[in-house]
Amino acid sequence: MNRSTFRKIWGDLWTRKSRTILVSVSIFIGVLGVVTLITAGDLLVRQLKADVKESELPMLAANVVVPPSEGDVTLDDATYLDALTEAFPDITAIEGSSNNPFYWKLPDEGRFREARLFAYTDAMSDKPVEPMRLVEGDYPQPGQHQLVVEQRMADDFDLSVGDAIDVRMLGEDEFPTETWTISGIVFHAYNQLSDQSMYALYDEAPAATGVSGLSTISARFDDFAQAEANKDAFQTFVNDNTPYSALIVQATDPADNAAIQSSEDFALILSVLAIVSMLVSGFLVLNVINNLVTEQRRQIGVMKSLGTTRGEMFVIYGGIAVSYGLIGVIPGVLLGIPLGYEMAVLIGDFANTLIDTFAVSTTAIALGIVLGLAVPVISAVIPVYIGTRVSILDAMTDLGIGGGYNVGLLNRTIKALPVPLNIKQSLNNLTQKKARLALTVITLTLALSAFMGVSAVFVQINSVLQDILDTFGYQIIFQTTQSQEFEPIQTLLMDNIDGIAEVYPGSGGIVQLEGYISESNQSSQMLVQGIVPETAMTDSTLVEGTAWENDPEREGIVLTNEITNSIGKGVGDTVTLIANGQRLEQEIIGVVNYPIPMGIMPWEDLSRLTGFTLGAPTPNQYFTGVQIDDYSGTLPGGAITAWGVDSQAAGFVTMLDGSPITPGQPGVMLTQAAADAGGYAVGDTITVRAGDCMATGDPDAADPAVCTATVPITGIFMPPSQMASSQIPQDMMAIYWEDLATMEGLNLNGEPVPNAFFVLTQAADPTAREVDGLIENVNDLLVDNGITASYTNMVEIADQASDAILSIGIVLNMASFIMAAVGAIGLITTLSIAVFERQKEIGVMRSVGAKSPTIIMQFLVEGLLVGIIAWIIAAPVSVGLAWGITEILPFGEFIQFDYPPVMLPVGFVGILIIATISSVWPSVSAARKTVSDILRYQ
Amino acid sequence: MDKLISLQQVHKTYKIKGGLIRALNGVDFEVEQGEFVALVGPSGSGKSTLINMITGIDRPTNGEVYVAGQRLTHMNEDQVAEWRGKNVGVVFQFFQLLPSLTVIENVIMPMTYAGTYKNGRRERAMELLELVDLVDIADKYPSQVSGGQQQRAAIARALANDPPLIVGDEPTGNLDSVSSGLMFSLFEDLVAQGKTMVMVTHDKDLAGKVPRVQEVRDGRLLGGEEINRRLVGASAGR
């Protein structure tokens, strides 16, 4: 580049300082956006990939519980895991884990805090799946009352190795407080509850949590296909061969890790937004260079007449574009690096990763520099090419402001419009420079589309969240560690705690819905919420059917519309639910519009289906008292011990005479002592009274057809040896257990119990802190009554969700703000150029009497018209963009895309504001021009 | 006759990088109502600056300017614009019609700014276009008509608010001789109707037809006798 070329470039940059600043600021913002957003996404994905390794992720995860119907069983988890390994030879690693709430506090604190205590069947240092990393200290030693804390929880609560904490021992009587020591700090990338997680040895955790047994069984297979193929068999094996019930078994391909996938998707959104903002800058540069060469037509003509080649002119105008780029790139990159890191830290918090070491993304920096320099240069090529094609003669000819004005169909149309002169003038001015109008409109449209699209998603997420929180209008959910009857809990709370409006029983569970394939996980499993139909717990909008509105006792299920659409059924059709080995036919009695696919049904029906029942008779362990007419044995009043047996036990007992009972055929067996006491022999008939038919003074109170049976004695049996040493009287009657239960009026499946309790506060709109206070009172009361539970503060969840959404919204809106800023600068620049170009016009207007407000209004109207045109195009574009972002977002599958109409007026007002602000400076600048200034330099 | 224009000891100095340029140097200039005055002089003599002082387009560095009873030197830019819109019709060399408006819209424009003829702007504009014989092209854009027609449209625009003073800065400078002659006739008609006309021109033939010719040289006005002698000499030597 020779000296004169350099001087020419410098001269143009310096002479039009304002324009240089505007364009460079626009590129700066674009580069800042590229470096910041791509750095944030890059660092996030990089950190997650470093933390979450495909080879360490489980392929099958079974959430297991011991159903209450199993009673008190002694668990042998190691044996169950070994059995699974044997049954599924393709398993390469298997681990059992427990995850339960527990209560802890610092020694000087008054009240306990809730956290999660994790424990694993394998040593923490040698976890076969989802390993953790010891950051500081040591893993817990047996018998030392030690635990380790997740780093993020330790950071939040300022916990260090060696610190002592008080732990409420929920597994011991009276829940004493013990002192445990933090032996180490760990980083556990796979833990989604990292900021509230502590870890203890598997054998020691139950003492603190009060819960024995596993919560999850995780397994890896040789490959994912095998895991997927064995999913159902795995679930069946757990249900049939262990005391556990596998509620849900999820097969997840480690190669498609949701966390990494979500972060990559999010990073992609950020990158796209960043690059779009850079492109918007590019349009602006194109616009400016286009105007620059138009403005310098005469100069170009002079240069050509002096022998300057087009190549040299490319160097000049390309040099100007590069200079704009350089001025913007340097601060953009320098500021984008720390900003990107900070943003990564912010997003990392929500993506469950920890970015605690400053890092840079070379990709982002390289892209920022390349785009920052290349986009302006590439943008300059076309206008320079076109601009330098001008002939010397054309360039030197100036016909004043009347020259070269095109009159086409558009102008004729505008001429016919019944609008004021100044609007007509604005419309004509705009349409006269169609290429510029197109570029400016594209710039603003991109910016506005991004703003409206991103904001639409933000509004939609907020709305969905609110729907979720509003549908079940309770403030507290608690789940007791042990199954509890509802009424005692309700009475206890309502009688003793102020501020509670109502307590409802409820349940939640995962069931299989025949014929349904979930879009999100390709399984037939569906979340079902168990409610009390006669209460106002749901205010979901019914789009079909009446649910329980007219009949709270009605049997049936309400499904969300995504599910009914998926299975092609509606109100009045029947669906089959499968859980815990049981099938239940239910009529669809309503369809609701709800963002999460789920079913809603009476909680008792759900608890029965999922096995949450108490009091069910267990064959062979079922002992009760009955009466035999005219019998006199060990027990008074003709009573005798009845033993409910199944066919297997009946076949195993030693028969002294006759034959065992046969299920489905009437008959009883007696011990020799009973036969002797009653003087009975095989083949005799006795009349047995049970349940309500026993010892009642009112014969009408019972239905003899049910609780009385006259049956033959089929045999005399010898009680099993362990019974001989028990307190059970030797005179005993054995009867088929189902017949006995029927006579006693017992439900074979037991009575349903809630697995959740919902609390409504008296305050209509309590704060999270107020709800916390209420939870503490409830917890204290329940603990005093020997009941432990885990609590969910729905108000706090709503607040946290709002915060999380707000943070994501801040990031997304920052991207759209960048584009809006670039768009605004684009409009400012375009209008400034228009002001410069139309100085003569301004002079003429002034000379015929136009005052400043008239001039200002002229350019303001032009700016607003550009904005309105951009809005008209941006509105449908933003709908598509919002749809795209919703599809990409991690939780997108929960959101049924529905563009919020409010975005249209918001976008309109937004563009009016942007257009007004952007137009003010050029307009005022135009109005400040005096006629003499204008005419003097013509 | 009343004095429509009165410039008293008007000085105008421009600052440029190389120093100062004295465009007007103590000009005293008066024009009676109904006069037709031509300002002549070489390029850079100060003619246009003097005209700009009269229209309020430019301000004197020193001195006072009174036009149509207003002391322009004490008015701000907007006040001058409003005043000019009602009292002065300006005709430029390059016509300067707004390309984005049709001919008739260009004529209506000053009425819109001044707020005059609210109920009959189009009719008023048509009258003026009839005066300059442009009714047929009223709805055409400036780029669709000839230079002469554009200049006549510019005159119609200058007359829009019926101003007492018409000022032209080389109004015929960009026209052929036929158009130029027609334009001058129009100016004479306007003066005959009572308008005051001040115009800058390089055309000595045209200046020779104007009742009063004032030469500007080096920012000063020369005496009327000397000018007339030169103009007569110029005509005789041809």
pLDDT digits (tens, 9 = 90+) for A749-786: 778 888 889 898 888 788 888 888 898 889 888 888 88
Pick from A407, A415, A837, A848 the residue to mutate for testing the B interface (most B CBs within 10 Å). A848
- Asked whether the predicted pLDDT for residue B65 surpasses 90, the reply is yes
Out of A399, A415, A848, closest to residue B157 by CB: A848
pLDDT at A695: 61
What is the rounded average pLDDT of the residues B19-47?
89
SS3 (DSSP) at A570: coil
- Asked whether the predicted pLDDT for residue A697 surpasses 60, the reply is no
Q: Are A675 and A684 in contact (CB under 8 A)?
A: no
Q: Do A404 and B143 touch (CB under 8 A)?
A: yes
Q: Is the backbone of residue A759 left (phi > 0), alpha (psi -120 to 50) or beta? A: beta
A418 and chain B in contact, CB less than 8 A: no
Which residue of chain A comes nearest to B167, CA vs CA?
A847
Out of A399, A421, A852, closest to residue B101 by CB: A421
Of A15 and A107, the structure prediction assigns the larger pLDDT to A107
- Asked whether the predicted pLDDT for residue A493 surpasses 90, the reply is yes
- Asked whether the predicted pLDDT for residue A402 surpasses 50, the reply is no
Give B225 to chain A, closest Cα distance, Å.
Answer: 31
Strands B19-32, A542-545: parallel, antiparallel or unpaired by DSSP?
unpaired
pLDDT at A399: 43
Instruction: Summarize pLDDT for A594-640 with one digit per residue, the tens.
Output: 767 788 899 888 888 887 777 778 788 788 889 998 888 888 888 89
Instruction: Summarize pLDDT for A118-131 with one digit per residue, the tens.
Output: 999 999 998 889 99
A450, B59, B88, B163 from A329: Cα distances, Å: 23, 45, 52, 56
B25 and chain A in contact, CB less than 8 A: no
Out of B81, B95, B144, closest to residue A846 by CB: B81
A406 and chain B in contact, CB less than 8 A: yes
- Asked whether the predicted pLDDT for residue A224 surpasses 80, the reply is yes
What is the rounded average pLDDT of the residues A49-78?
82
Q: Do B97 and A402 touch (CB under 8 A)?
A: yes
pLDDT at A512: 85
Output the DSSP codes for A166-209: EEE-TTSTT--EEEEEEEEEEE-TT-TTGGGEEE--TTTHHHHH
pLDDT at B2: 65
Lowest mean pLDDT among A404-408, A591-595, A598-602: A404-408
Out of B81, B95, B105, closest to residue A851 by CB: B81
- Asked whether the predicted pLDDT for residue B238 surpasses 50, the reply is no
A282, A285, A382, B18, B77 from A10: Cα distances, Å: 21, 17, 22, 22, 34
Number of H helices, E strands in chain A: 29, 29
Q: Do B82 and A849 touch (CB under 8 A)?
A: yes
A409 and chain B in contact, CB less than 8 A: no
Out of A401, A415, A421, closest to residue B96 by CB: A401
Which residue of chain A comes nearest to B140, CA vs CA?
A407
B141 neighbourhood in chain A, CB within 8 Å: 405, 407, 411
What is the rounded average pLDDT of the residues A288-303?
75
Biggest distance spanned by C-alpha atoms of chain B? 55
Pick from A397, A419, A847, A937 the residue to mutate for testing the B interface (most B CBs within 10 Å). A847
Q: How confident is the model at residue A713 (pLDDT cuts 50, 70, 90)?
A: very high
A929 and chain B in contact, CB less than 8 A: no
A265 and chain B in contact, CB less than 8 A: no
Q: Do A852 and B77 touch (CB under 8 A)?
A: yes
Lowest mean pLDDT among A8-22, A617-631, B141-155: A8-22
A403 neighbourhood in chain B, CB within 8 Å: 99, 143
What percentage of chain A has pLDDT greater than the value 70? 90
- Asked whether the predicted pLDDT for residue A91 surpasses 90, the reply is yes
Handedness of CA A28, A34, A39, A44 (dihedral sign): positive
Q: How confident is the model at residue A472 (pLDDT cuts 50, 70, 90)?
A: low
- Asked whether the predicted pLDDT for residue A20 surpasses 60, the reply is yes
B162 and chain A in contact, CB less than 8 A: no
pLDDT at A576: 93
Lowest mean pLDDT among A534-548, A829-843, A902-916: A534-548
Nearest-angstrom CA–CA distance, A288 and A324: 11
What's chain A's length in residues? 938
Residue A435's contacts (CB-CB under 8 Å, 6 or more residues apart) are A290
- Asked whether the predicted pLDDT for residue A154 surpasses 70, the reply is yes
Q: Do B150 and A402 touch (CB under 8 A)?
A: yes
pTM of the model: 0.61
SS3 (DSSP) at A143: coil
- Asked whether the predicted pLDDT for residue B146 surpasses 70, the reply is yes
Q: Do A421 and B161 touch (CB under 8 A)?
A: no
Average pLDDT for chain A: 82
Q: Do A845 and B97 touch (CB under 8 A)?
A: no
Q: Do A844 and B92 touch (CB under 8 A)?
A: yes
Instruction: Summarize pLDDT for A379-391 with one digit per residue, the tens.
Output: 888 888 877 777 6
pLDDT at A69: 60
Q: Do A840 and B102 touch (CB under 8 A)?
A: no
Give B101 to chain A, closest Cα distance, Å.
Answer: 6
Nearest-angstrom CA–CA distance, B118 and B116: 5
Q: Do A932 and B58 touch (CB under 8 A)?
A: yes
Q: Do A850 and B85 touch (CB under 8 A)?
A: yes
Q: Do B92 and A411 touch (CB under 8 A)?
A: no
Nearest-angstrom CA–CA distance, B218 and A390: 39
- The stretches of A686-838 forming alpha helices (DSSP H) are 704-707, 721-724, 737-744, 768-784, 794-837
Q: Do B113 and A840 touch (CB under 8 A)?
A: no
pLDDT at A398: 47
How many beta-carbon pairs under 8 angstroms link A with B?
Answer: 111
Out of A405, A845, A851, closest to residue B142 by CB: A405
Closest CA to B33 of B166, B228, B231, B209: B166
pLDDT at A898: 78
pLDDT at A719: 83
- The residues facing A61 across adjacent strands are A218, A250
Q: Do B143 and A402 touch (CB under 8 A)?
A: yes
Nearest-angstrom CA–CA distance, A401 and A399: 7
Pick from B47, B57, B137, B161 the residue to mutate for testing the A interface (most A CBs within 10 Å). B57
- Asked whether the predicted pLDDT for residue B236 surpasses 50, the reply is no
pLDDT at B123: 94
pLDDT at A178: 92
Which residue of chain B comes nearest to A840, CA vs CA?
B96
Looking at the predicted complex, does its ipTM rise above 0.85? no
Nearest-angstrom CA–CA distance, A849 and A851: 6
Burial class from Cβ neighbours inside 10 Å (0-12, 13-18, 19+) for residue A695 reads exposed
Nearest-angstrom CA–CA distance, A369 and A838: 36
B165 and chain A in contact, CB less than 8 A: no
Handedness of CA A159, A160, A166, A170 (dihedral sign): positive
> Would you kindly state where each structural domain of chain A is located, as residue ranges?
1-52+257-398, 54-256, 407-468+804-938, 482-615+752-787, 622-748
Terminal C-alpha separation, chain A = 32
- Asked whether the predicted pLDDT for residue B226 surpasses 70, the reply is no
- What residues 64-83 of chain B have any CB closer than 8 A to a CB of chain A? 77-78, 81-82
Which residue of chain A comes nearest to B158, CA vs CA?
A848
Q: Are B198 and B167 in contact (CB under 8 A)?
A: yes
What percentage of chain A has pLDDT greater than the value 90? 21
Out of A424, A844, A849, closest to residue B96 by CB: A844
Give A799 to chain B, closest Cα distance, Å.
Answer: 56
Q: Which helix (H) or strand (E) holds A283?
A: helix A258-295
pLDDT at A702: 61
Residue with tokens 């224009």: B5
A699 and chain B in contact, CB less than 8 A: no
A406 neighbourhood in chain B, CB within 8 Å: 143
- Asked whether the predicted pLDDT for residue A714 surpasses 90, the reply is yes
Q: Do A851 and B113 touch (CB under 8 A)?
A: yes
B110 neighbourhood in chain A, CB within 8 Å: 848-849
- Asked whether the predicted pLDDT for residue B8 surpasses 80, the reply is yes
> What is the DSSP-derived secondary structure letter of residue A804?
H
Task: Locate A138 and state its tokens.
Answer: 């040591």
Q: How confident is the model at residue A537 (pLDDT cuts 50, 70, 90)?
A: very low
Which residue of chain A comes nearest to B97, CA vs CA?
A402
A15 neighbourhood in chain B, CB within 8 Å: none
B121 and chain A in contact, CB less than 8 A: no
- What burial letters (b/e) apply to B196-206, b meaning 16+ CB within 10 Å? bbbbbbebeeb
B52 neighbourhood in chain A, CB within 8 Å: 931-932, 935
Give A285 to chain B, closest Cα distance, Å.
Answer: 26
Instruction: Summarize pLDDT for A510-519 with one digit per residue, the tens.
Output: 788 888 887 6
Which residue of chain A comes nearest to B99, CA vs CA?
A402
